[in-house]
């Protein structure tokens, strides 16, 4: 049996430029995408880093060391793979800032959580945080808060299981108001820079965001080769590049550093978080200048993997009044494979070409004894018994016919089957969009102007999924906003928001059962809620 996950609080020091007191004047205008009232702008900061002591929530098992820092907006900061002693995500040795976030000062590094808008107002806030332990030996560091611009609550649990190399992000979003709210959620993970960096995914269907200085909002993009450049490789991205992956039902994407022979893969459902994005600031001097100020002098070009909802950052979702969204996505390290061909929740696989040694390498997320690898190739079905472990890749020699590639690869585990190849197909276009919008805003003329798009896509007819709200897409699998469920907590102030959210709302706890689609739900009686210093009653504020 693996050892239980260790969870503790500890103090550490981080060289970071000081943030000066925010502007005392209100941030006006108080509307639009950049509106942050009642927050004020914090765009003044130093140029030289100073040692600052912070508290960290530390999670450790036999495979990973994780460090969540509430003082950095709740970011997952330190991530170490114990097998290779290298970080999963990039963190600078010295933290600088640039005026890029909604409030001003922003920095790159670790895993950033953004709700209800990108590079949100809590980048430099100290968030409430708790450590939670579970009967199965798992532990989680949970952070969260309330965004006062739209009065919506959120929390995220960074959960680690015994003997498992996966990081589980348990995400909970809650609209605590009596009005529908538009929102977006994005989890941004910084990647270690390297000329041998390869972006990996399971699709050829990609939508461009921007390439260089020119925006390509929603334009089709030929992946991986576009205009004679192979965009899988970081070295081919000379200018700033932003691309959205569109295909797949059970979605995976990640990166692989070939000079380190390791990388990270993200696994999640398209019904939960359909948006996947590759981003880097390019290798022009402008990109390096951007990285220089974020790292206090280091020659660094920012590169990130981002996952979220809705499908692209040109859209937004609708969260109806007093409803919540909850889902879990998995990020885990892969190493020793020589590359990454495909991945599932339990297995990562790299398929090597014929004539170059062993043709198949696999790595499990935990111990999987008595597995069977099923390969369909050349009209024949072949079975290979093996045992998968998280600390050593397994190599299989598969004698394939000349000029033949496997048509399908499936791993049969004790708990079920994991289909690795072929990659998942693009899901059918969602249905019921009008019904979802009707729940949020009511029927009538308002439904026509809230089709889930922002002004960036003006004048273009929506595609199969472009005009659908993420509530609708999530509802296809029974995850997302559920009419009739009222789980609003009672808040006495923004500082206690995530703790109250976790204690008073059972749906916020990872591992708690969720109401089945179509199941009868009981609405809780309205209770007074204190919001922004005044007493109000749900349904009347």
Least confident of 83-97, 122-136, 174-188, 282-296: 282-296
Judge whether residue 442 has pLDDT over 50.
no
Nearest of 146, 39, 26, 125 to residue 529 by alpha carbon: 146
Over the chain, what is the mean pLDDT?
Answer: 77
How far apart, in whole angstroms, are the C-alpha atoms of residue 42 and residue 120? Answer: 12
pLDDT band, very low/low/confident/very high, at 478 (cuts 50, 70, 90): very low
What is the average per-residue pLDDT within 266-270? 89
How far apart, in whole angstroms, are the C-alpha atoms of residue 245 and residue 124? Answer: 30
Least confident of 273-277, 375-379, 387-391: 375-379
Q: Please give the residue that has the higher pLDDT: either 214 or 107.
A: 107
How far apart, in whole angstroms, are the C-alpha atoms of residue 515 and residue 125? Answer: 34
Cα–chain center distance at 326: 13
Per-residue DSSP letter, 471? H
Most confident of 326-340, 370-384, 417-431, 503-517: 326-340
Q: Which residues contact 445 (CB under 8 A, 6 or more apart)?
A: none
pLDDT band, very low/low/confident/very high, at 196 (cuts 50, 70, 90): very high
How far apart, in whole angstroms, are the C-alpha atoms of residue 537 and residue 526? Answer: 7
CA distances from 105 to 117, 150, 334 (A): 16, 21, 33
Would you state the pLDDT for residue 497? 32
Share of the chain above pLDDT 70, in %: 73
Q: Please give the residue that has the higher pLDDT: either 145 or 438.
A: 145
How far apart, in whole angstroms, are the C-alpha atoms of residue 130 and residue 294? Answer: 29
Cα–chain center distance at 284: 27
Would you state the pLDDT for residue 355? 57
Would you state the pLDDT for residue 520? 40
Strand runs labelled E in 37-110:
50-60, 64-69, 75-81, 86-87, 98-99, 105-106
Q: Please give the residue that has the higher pLDDT: either 360 or 466.
A: 360
Would you state the pLDDT for residue 531? 33
* Count of CA atoms in the C-beta half-sphere (13 A) of 496: 10
Cβ atoms 326, 479 nearer than 8 A: yes
Judge whether residue 387 has pLDDT over 70.
yes
Cβ atoms 353, 333 nearer than 8 A: no
Would you state the pLDDT for residue 247? 58
Would you state the pLDDT for residue 422? 63
Would you state the pLDDT for residue 397? 83
pLDDT tens per residue across span 483-518: 333 333 322 333 333 333 333 333 333 444 333 344
pLDDT band, very low/low/confident/very high, at 539 (cuts 50, 70, 90): very low
Place of tokens 């991205």: 237
Sign of torsion over alpha carbons 214, 218, 221, 224: positive
What is the average per-residue pLDDT within 268-280? 89
How far apart, in whole angstroms, are the C-alpha atoms of residue 299 and residue 446? Answer: 49
How far apart, in whole angstroms, are the C-alpha atoms of residue 320 and residue 481? Answer: 7
Per-residue DSSP letter, 470? H
């Amino acid at each position: 049996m693996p050892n239980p996950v260790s969870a503790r609080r500890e103090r550490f020091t981080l060289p970071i430029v000081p943030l000066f007191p925010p502007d005392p004047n209100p941030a006006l205008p108080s509307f639009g995408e950049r509106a942050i009232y009642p927050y004020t702008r914090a765009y003044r900061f130093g140029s030289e880093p100073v040692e600052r002591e912070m508290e960290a929530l530390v999670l450790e098992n036999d495979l990973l060391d994780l460090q969540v820092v509430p003082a950095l907006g709740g970011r997952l900061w330190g991530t170490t793979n114990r097998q290779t002693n290298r970080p999963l995500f990039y963190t600078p040795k010295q933290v600088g800032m640039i005026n890029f976030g909604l409030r001003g000062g922003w920095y790159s590094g670790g895993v950033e959580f953004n709700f209800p808008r990108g590079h949100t107002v809590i980048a430099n806030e100290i968030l409430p945080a708790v450590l939670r332990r579970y009967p199965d030996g798992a532990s989680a560091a949970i952070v969260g808060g309330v965004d006062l611009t739209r009065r919506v609550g959120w929390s995220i649990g960074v959960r680690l299981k015994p003997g498992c190399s996966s990081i589980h992000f348990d995400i909970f979003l809650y609209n605590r108001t009596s009005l529908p709210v538009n929102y977006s959620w994005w989890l941004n993970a910084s990647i270690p820079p390297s000329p041998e960096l390869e972006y990996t995914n399971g699709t050829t269907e990609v939508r461009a965001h921007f390439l260089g200085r020119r925006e390509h909002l929603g334009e089709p993009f030929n992946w991986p080769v576009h205009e004679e450049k192979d965009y899988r490789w970081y070295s081919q991205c000379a200018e700033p590049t932003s691309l959205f992956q569109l295909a797949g039902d059970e979605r995976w994407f990640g990166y692989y550093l070939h000079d380190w022979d390791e990388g990270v893969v993200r696994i999640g459902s398209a019904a939960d978080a359909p948006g996947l994005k590759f981003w880097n600031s390019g290798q022009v001097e402008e990109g390096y200048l951007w990285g220089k100020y974020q790292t206090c002098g280091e020659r660094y070009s920012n590169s990130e993997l981002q996952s979220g909802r809705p499908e692209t950052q040109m859209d937004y979702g609708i969260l109806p009044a007093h409803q919540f969204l909850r889902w879990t996505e998995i990020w885990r390290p892969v190493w020793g494979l020589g590359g990454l061909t495909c991945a599932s929740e339990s297995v990562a696989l790299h398929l090597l070409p014929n004539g170059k040694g062993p043709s198949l390498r696999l790595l499990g997320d935990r111990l999987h004894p008595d597995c069977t690898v099923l390969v369909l190739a050349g009209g024949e079905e072949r079975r290979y018994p093996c045992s998968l472990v998280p600390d050593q890749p397994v190599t299989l020699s598969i004698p394939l016919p000349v000029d033949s590639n496997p048509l399908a690869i499936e791993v049969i585990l004790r708990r079920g089957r994991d289909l690795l190849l072929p990659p998942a197909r693009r899901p059918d276009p969602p249905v019921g969009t009008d019904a979802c919008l009707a729940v949020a805003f009511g029927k009538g003329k308002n439904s026509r102007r809230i089709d889930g798009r922002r002004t960036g896509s003006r004048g273009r007819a929506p595609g199969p999924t472009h005009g659908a709200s993420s509530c609708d897409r999530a509802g296809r699998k029974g995850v997302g906003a559920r009419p009739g469920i009222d789980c609003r907590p009672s808040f006495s102030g923004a500082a206690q928001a995530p703790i109250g959210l976790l204690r008073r709302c059972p749906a916020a706890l990872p591992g708690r059962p969720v109401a089945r689609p179509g199941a009868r739900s009981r609405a809780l009686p309205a209770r007074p809620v204190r919001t922004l210093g005044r007493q109000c009653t749900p349904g009347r504020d």
